[in-house]
Structure 1
Amino acid sequence: MMRRHSYIWVLLLKMKVTRPFTKNDLKDLYDEYFESIRGFLYYKCSNIDLADDLVQETFIKIWSKRDDIKKETVKSLLYTIANNLLMNHFNHQKVVREHQKSANVSISSNTVSPQFQMEEAEFESKLNNAIAKLPDDCREVFLMNRIDKLKYAEIAERLNLSVKAIEKRMSKTIGLLKESLGMKI
């Protein structure tokens, strides 16, 4: 009696020589290798459903490559395709996770409650009013430092004042703003 895998090799040899690869040939390959490829994939991924899906995809790929199959390499081709499909799956999952992480970060950083937006707008309005009520010399120093991002030395040079005078004006300005905004000093 001929062993099952020998029969497969004879079929594959006949396919190349006498006839094209048929669905019955694919079924014979499937019957012969399904369990071993499934076990191979399950060992690597520990997910039987994924292993089953990848075995199916492996045989679909074999069918698409049916014109290039050589009897000597069909077994290694099956395992290579199965392994490549598994690696592609893992790589895809990695990309999906990274995308989800970046999407979650951008969603959480861009999601602001309407209440927060209202409070922020209200505070900004109060701050602008408080800045407008500052004495001219204090407002000028404050805006040069906080808006124009100038250092105390640069402000002192532009206004022909000492750095110490600028420090005192900024201290006075911050105190006035805290008082005007109702913050404890």
Structure 2
Amino acid sequence: MQFPMRKEQEQGVCHSTVFEKLFKQHSQDLHDFLYYKYGDRDNPADLVQEAFMKLWDNCHKVLPEKARGFLFTVVNNQMLNVLDRKKTALKYQHEPQQHFTNESPEYLIEETEYLEQLEGAIASLTPEQREAFLLFRIEGKKQKEIAELLGISQKAVEKRIAKAHKHLKTILVNF
């Protein structure tokens, strides 16, 4: 003799009362399982929530009596995935970074030479010209701001920057 099935049992895990009952029965066990096996470092509560979301997504495929095994398998696999990603990240963190460029070796040599010459040229400016030039070109300050900073007129700043440009052009004529 078969007993009539209740509506909740017919719908299985997809029925809200069945799902809620499963959550209340197994959520703490799942959390404890992850905590005891892997520790607290990867927030087991989040993985438990994700496992129940996966159960809800697959509620038509999972029978209520198989839900516990499904949940434990899901949380264990999730934790193993988290640990695997961390292990991979740690592996690449310790490897020396290789820097590749699409530039030709000749270009890189020229660039290095230019930077050395530019630094030398800037160093050869008078201290006043160098200060005004670097504030203008590197710091991006306006001539009026530089004049206020240095306590000189805006016209004096213009002259210093113009002389610095002229000096740099003569030294860096090949570039």
Q: TM-score range by the shorter chain?
A: 0.3 to 0.5
TM-score, structure 2 as length reference? 0.48
- Structure exhibiting the larger radius of gyration computed from Cα positions: 1
